[in-house]
Protein backbone atom coordinates (compact mmCIF):
# COMPACT_ATOMS: atom_id res chain seq x y z
CA UNK A 1 0.00 0.00 0.00
CA UNK A 2 1.34 3.41 -0.90
CA UNK A 3 1.58 6.21 1.60
CA UNK A 4 -0.68 9.13 0.79
CA UNK A 5 0.49 12.69 1.23
CA UNK A 6 -1.79 14.40 3.70
CA UNK A 7 -2.87 18.02 3.85
CA UNK A 8 -4.83 19.96 6.42
CA UNK A 9 -6.41 22.95 4.66
CA UNK A 10 -5.87 25.00 7.81
CA UNK A 11 -2.10 24.44 7.57
CA UNK A 12 -1.36 25.01 3.87
CA UNK A 13 -1.63 28.25 1.92
CA UNK A 14 -4.64 29.07 -0.22
CA UNK A 15 -2.79 28.44 -3.51
CA UNK A 16 -2.02 24.87 -2.38
CA UNK A 17 -5.68 24.39 -1.43
CA UNK A 18 -6.71 25.75 -4.85
CA UNK A 19 -4.31 23.32 -6.57
CA UNK A 20 -5.77 20.36 -4.65
CA UNK A 21 -9.35 21.35 -5.45
CA UNK A 22 -8.86 22.18 -9.11
CA UNK A 23 -6.57 19.20 -9.75
CA UNK A 24 -8.96 16.69 -8.19
CA UNK A 25 -12.45 17.89 -9.13
CA UNK A 26 -11.92 17.18 -12.83
CA UNK A 27 -12.91 17.55 -15.58
CA UNK A 28 -15.17 20.46 -14.69
CA UNK A 29 -17.89 21.78 -16.96
CA UNK A 30 -17.58 25.45 -17.74
CA UNK A 31 -20.36 27.86 -16.86
CA UNK A 32 -19.81 30.41 -19.63
CA UNK A 33 -21.94 33.30 -18.40
CA UNK A 34 -23.17 36.18 -20.52
CA UNK A 35 -24.68 39.26 -18.91
CA UNK A 36 -25.41 42.92 -19.59
CA UNK A 37 -25.26 45.98 -17.34
CA UNK A 38 -27.74 48.84 -17.01
CA UNK A 39 -25.85 50.84 -19.70
CA UNK A 40 -26.25 48.00 -22.20
CA UNK A 41 -22.57 46.89 -22.05
CA UNK A 42 -22.44 43.12 -22.57
CA UNK A 43 -20.11 40.81 -20.65
CA UNK A 44 -18.94 37.24 -21.06
CA UNK A 45 -16.80 35.19 -18.65
CA UNK A 46 -16.10 31.51 -17.87
CA UNK A 47 -16.64 29.94 -14.43
CA UNK A 48 -15.64 26.34 -13.80
CA UNK A 49 -16.89 26.24 -10.21
CA UNK A 50 -20.18 25.46 -11.84
CA UNK A 51 -22.85 22.76 -11.75
CA UNK A 52 -26.55 21.88 -11.94
CA UNK A 53 -28.19 22.00 -8.50
CA UNK A 54 -31.91 21.33 -8.99
CA UNK A 55 -34.29 19.89 -11.60
CA UNK A 56 -37.71 21.15 -10.41
CA UNK A 57 -37.35 24.02 -10.86
CA UNK A 58 -34.22 23.75 -13.02
CA UNK A 59 -31.34 25.54 -11.30
CA UNK A 60 -27.61 25.93 -11.86
CA UNK A 61 -24.87 27.48 -9.72
CA UNK A 62 -21.74 29.51 -10.36
CA UNK A 63 -19.15 30.47 -7.74
CA UNK A 64 -18.00 33.93 -8.71
CA UNK A 65 -15.03 34.61 -6.42
CA UNK A 66 -14.27 38.16 -5.41
CA UNK A 67 -11.37 39.94 -7.09
CA UNK A 68 -8.17 39.99 -4.97
CA UNK A 69 -9.07 43.54 -3.78
CA UNK A 70 -12.47 42.28 -2.52
CA UNK A 71 -14.49 43.89 -5.31
CA UNK A 72 -17.15 42.00 -7.26
CA UNK A 73 -16.48 40.64 -10.75
CA UNK A 74 -18.44 42.32 -13.56
CA UNK A 75 -20.56 39.18 -14.10
CA UNK A 76 -21.84 39.28 -10.52
CA UNK A 77 -22.45 43.05 -10.61
CA UNK A 78 -24.47 42.63 -13.81
CA UNK A 79 -26.46 39.67 -12.46
CA UNK A 80 -27.37 41.72 -9.37
CA UNK A 81 -28.26 44.72 -11.53
CA UNK A 82 -30.51 42.97 -14.08
CA UNK A 83 -31.46 39.87 -12.07
CA UNK A 84 -30.48 37.52 -14.89
CA UNK A 85 -27.73 35.80 -16.88
CA UNK A 86 -27.35 33.22 -19.64
CA UNK A 87 -25.32 30.02 -19.48
CA UNK A 88 -23.69 29.07 -22.78
CA UNK A 89 -22.15 25.62 -23.31
CA UNK A 90 -18.44 25.97 -24.10
CA UNK A 91 -17.69 23.81 -27.12
CA UNK A 92 -14.49 22.69 -28.81
CA UNK A 93 -14.90 25.10 -31.74
CA UNK A 94 -14.75 28.21 -29.54
CA UNK A 95 -12.68 27.02 -26.59
CA UNK A 96 -9.78 29.43 -27.14
CA UNK A 97 -12.16 32.39 -27.34
CA UNK A 98 -13.88 31.07 -24.20
CA UNK A 99 -10.51 31.14 -22.38
CA UNK A 100 -9.88 34.69 -23.68
CA UNK A 101 -13.17 35.83 -22.12
CA UNK A 102 -11.53 35.08 -18.74
CA UNK A 103 -9.12 38.00 -19.21
CA UNK A 104 -9.83 40.98 -16.98
CA UNK A 105 -10.87 43.89 -19.20
CA UNK A 106 -12.24 47.34 -18.22
CA UNK A 107 -15.89 47.48 -17.13
CA UNK A 108 -16.87 49.65 -20.13
CA UNK A 109 -15.54 47.09 -22.65
CA UNK A 110 -17.24 43.91 -23.81
CA UNK A 111 -15.64 40.48 -24.17
CA UNK A 112 -17.97 39.96 -27.16
CA UNK A 113 -16.15 42.77 -29.04
CA UNK A 114 -12.80 41.55 -27.76
CA UNK A 115 -13.24 37.99 -29.04
CA UNK A 116 -15.47 38.59 -32.08
CA UNK A 117 -18.25 36.43 -30.60
CA UNK A 118 -21.83 37.44 -31.44
CA UNK A 119 -24.42 38.45 -28.81
CA UNK A 120 -27.99 37.50 -29.67
CA UNK A 121 -31.06 38.40 -27.58
CA UNK A 122 -32.78 36.17 -25.06
CA UNK A 123 -36.55 35.60 -24.86
CA UNK A 124 -37.21 36.06 -21.14
CA UNK A 125 -34.01 37.78 -19.95
CA UNK A 126 -32.05 40.94 -20.75
CA UNK A 127 -28.74 39.05 -20.93
CA UNK A 128 -27.47 38.12 -24.39
CA UNK A 129 -26.59 34.61 -25.63
CA UNK A 130 -23.52 33.49 -27.58
CA UNK A 131 -24.60 32.78 -31.18
CA UNK A 132 -21.58 30.56 -31.90
CA UNK A 133 -22.60 27.77 -29.47
CA UNK A 134 -25.56 25.37 -29.74
CA UNK A 135 -27.01 25.50 -26.20
CA UNK A 136 -28.04 28.44 -24.04
CA UNK A 137 -29.98 28.55 -20.77
CA UNK A 138 -31.71 31.80 -19.87
CA UNK A 139 -31.53 32.17 -16.07
CA UNK A 140 -33.11 34.44 -13.50
CA UNK A 141 -31.22 35.08 -10.27
CA UNK A 142 -32.64 32.91 -7.50
CA UNK A 143 -30.19 33.49 -4.65
CA UNK A 144 -26.66 34.62 -3.82
CA UNK A 145 -25.13 32.74 -0.89
CA UNK A 146 -21.91 34.22 0.52
CA UNK A 147 -19.40 31.51 1.47
CA UNK A 148 -16.68 31.70 4.12
CA UNK A 149 -14.91 34.66 5.72
CA UNK A 150 -14.23 36.29 2.32
CA UNK A 151 -17.92 36.01 1.40
CA UNK A 152 -17.31 34.37 -1.99
CA UNK A 153 -20.64 34.53 -3.81
CA UNK A 154 -22.32 31.28 -4.87
CA UNK A 155 -24.88 32.40 -7.43
CA UNK A 156 -27.90 30.19 -7.99
CA UNK A 157 -29.94 30.83 -11.12
CA UNK A 158 -33.27 29.38 -12.14
CA UNK A 159 -33.39 28.33 -15.79
CA UNK A 160 -36.45 30.00 -17.29
CA UNK A 161 -35.83 29.13 -20.95
CA UNK A 162 -33.70 26.60 -22.86
CA UNK A 163 -32.32 26.99 -26.40
CA UNK A 164 -30.90 23.88 -28.09
CA UNK A 165 -29.76 23.64 -31.71
CA UNK A 166 -31.45 20.51 -33.12
CA UNK A 167 -28.22 19.71 -34.98
CA UNK A 168 -26.68 18.58 -31.69
CA UNK A 169 -29.57 16.24 -30.81
CA UNK A 170 -30.29 12.59 -31.68
CA UNK A 171 -33.64 10.94 -30.80
CA UNK A 172 -34.51 13.63 -28.24
CA UNK A 173 -31.19 13.39 -26.40
CA UNK A 174 -28.37 15.90 -26.53
CA UNK A 175 -25.69 13.99 -28.44
CA UNK A 176 -22.22 14.46 -26.93
CA UNK A 177 -20.44 13.54 -30.17
CA UNK A 178 -22.31 16.39 -31.88
CA UNK A 179 -22.13 18.86 -28.99
CA UNK A 180 -18.34 18.48 -28.43
CA UNK A 181 -18.21 20.13 -24.96
CA UNK A 182 -14.88 21.32 -23.51
CA UNK A 183 -13.96 20.63 -19.90
CA UNK A 184 -11.58 22.44 -17.59
CA UNK A 185 -8.71 20.60 -15.93
CA UNK A 186 -6.17 22.44 -13.79
CA UNK A 187 -3.74 25.21 -14.68
CA UNK A 188 -3.99 26.04 -18.38
CA UNK A 189 -5.20 22.56 -19.32
CA UNK A 190 -8.54 21.80 -20.96
CA UNK A 191 -10.08 18.55 -22.15
CA UNK A 192 -12.26 17.81 -25.16
CA UNK A 193 -14.20 14.55 -25.14
CA UNK A 194 -12.12 11.42 -25.35
CA UNK A 195 -13.58 8.01 -26.17
CA UNK A 196 -17.25 7.74 -25.12
CA UNK A 197 -18.06 4.48 -23.32
CA UNK A 198 -21.60 3.14 -22.89
CA UNK A 199 -22.42 0.78 -20.01
CA UNK A 200 -24.48 -2.22 -21.08
CA UNK A 201 -27.85 -2.71 -19.29
CA UNK A 202 -30.00 -5.86 -19.39
CA UNK A 203 -33.55 -5.75 -17.91
CA UNK A 204 -32.74 -2.41 -16.32
CA UNK A 205 -29.66 -3.78 -14.55
CA UNK A 206 -26.04 -2.91 -15.36
CA UNK A 207 -23.95 -5.86 -16.59
Ligand X SMILES: Cc1cc2nc3c(=O)[nH]c(=O)nc-3n(C[C@H](O)[C@H](O)[C@H](O)COP(=O)(O)O)c2cc1C
Residues at the site binding ligand X, with contacts judged by CB under 6 A: 30, 43, 45-49, 63-65, 73-75, 99, 102, 104, 184
Give the CB-nearest residue to ligand X: 102
Q: How far is the CB of 43 from ligand X (least distance, A)?
A: 5
Q: Nearest approach, Cβ of 172 to ligand X (angstroms)?
A: 30
CB 111 to ligand X: min, Å: 7
Could you tell me the smallest distance in angstroms from the CB atom of residue 147 to ligand X?
12
Q: In angstroms, give the least distance from the CB of 121 to ligand X.
A: 20
Closest to ligand X by CB, 159 or 182: 182
- Cβ proximity to ligand X: between 46 and 122 the closer is 46
Nearer residue to ligand X within complex by CB, 80 or 142: 80
Choice between 144 and 169, CB closer to ligand X: 144
Give dist(CA 12, CA 103) in Å, integer: 28
**Secondary structure in 3-state letters for the chain:** CCCCCCCCCCCCCHHHHHHHHHHHCCCECCEEEEEECCCCCEEEEEECCEEEEECCCCEEEEECCCCCCCCCCHHHHHHHHHCEEEEEECEHHHHHHHHHCCCCCCCCCCHHHHHCCCEECCCCCCCCEECCCCEEEEEEEEEEEEECCCCEEEEEEEEEEEEECHHHEECCEECHHHHCECEECCCCCEECCCCCCCCCEECCEEC
- Name the residue nearer to ligand X (CB basis): 63 or 82: 63
Amino acid sequence: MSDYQEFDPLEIDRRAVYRLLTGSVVPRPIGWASTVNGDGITNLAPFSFFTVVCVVPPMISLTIARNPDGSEKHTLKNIKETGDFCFNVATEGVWQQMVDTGNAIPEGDSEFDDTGLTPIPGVKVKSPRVAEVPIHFECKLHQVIELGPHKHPLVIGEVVYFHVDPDCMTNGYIDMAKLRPMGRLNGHFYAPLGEILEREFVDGQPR
